[in-house]
Amino acid sequence: MTADEIRDRARSISRITDPRTLRALAHPIRLSLLGLLRARGPLTATRAAELLGESSASASFHLRQLSKYGLVEEAGGGHGRERPWRAAAMWTDIPHIADNPEFEAAAHLFKSIVIEGYFSHAMRYLETESDQPEEWQRAAAMDDYLLYVTADELAELAESIRPLLRRYTDRLADAESRPPGARRVQYIQLGFPLVEPRYGEPGGTGTPDGGDGQ
């Protein structure tokens, strides 16, 4: 591929508006397969299974399901479980606000599995943190800020960070652009209004307005 084709692929987005497609993707193994193909693809079902610790039959089944909904595609060559697959796009985007109950339910399921995956990845890192090189231990970011902002300010904050991250997205599709020592890193951005337990309920904060008392 040319440099422009690599760049276009690195920035390709699959926008999902069909609840059936989103439900099909909302599965831990399928999400892992899609992420693996984006980072290391094209891969055969056999190789993907080895990397995920799954059986070839399981990987092959889930790849066919992802293909059914246009989320992965054959990369050409091979046959059966030895034919390579690649992600149809490098990023997934779903509407922030659902326009019907069916899509809302699918989006809730999808987001819950994604967040569980974040937690799993973070715990896996913590379990091996002491074995990591010191430079990576220092570089790992686990920050947490409590802020009082408006909805517009929260949206602006998230948007201001995205251009910084986009500086590195082309490397996902172009291995030759990765500098020596580069590793796969998951940078998680979460910003949401806190929903506190009501005053007097178990787990409540002890302040009538649901705040932290400060």
Q: Does the pLDDT at position 5 exceed 80?
A: no
pLDDT for 201 equals 57
Six-digit token pair at 106? 């699918």
Q: In what order do the strands lie in the sheet with 72-74?
A: 43-44, 84-87, 72-74
What are the extents of the domains in the chain?
3-133
Quickly list H helices, 90-212: 101-128, 134-139, 151-166, 170-173
Cβ atoms within 10 A of the Cβ of 107, count? 20
Q: pLDDT tens across 39-48, in order? A: 888 999 999 9
Task: Calculate the CA 150 to chain-centre distance.
Answer: 26
pLDDT band at 99 (very low <50, low <70, confident <90, very high): confident
Q: pLDDT tens across 103-113, in order? A: 999 999 999 99
pLDDT for 205 equals 47
Mean pLDDT across the chain: 88
Average pLDDT over residues 200-210: 48
SS3 136: helix
**Which residues are CB-contacts of 106 (< 8 A; sequence separation ≥ 6)?**
19, 20, 22, 23, 26
Quickly list H helices, 11-146: 19-25, 28-40, 45-52, 56-68, 101-128, 134-139
Residue with tokens 């337990």: 197
Q: Does the pLDDT at position 208 exceed 80?
A: no
Q: What is the pTM of this model?
A: 0.81
Q: pLDDT tens across 14-35, in order? A: 899 999 999 999 999 999 999 9
CATH 1.20.120.80 fits 3-133, yes or no: no
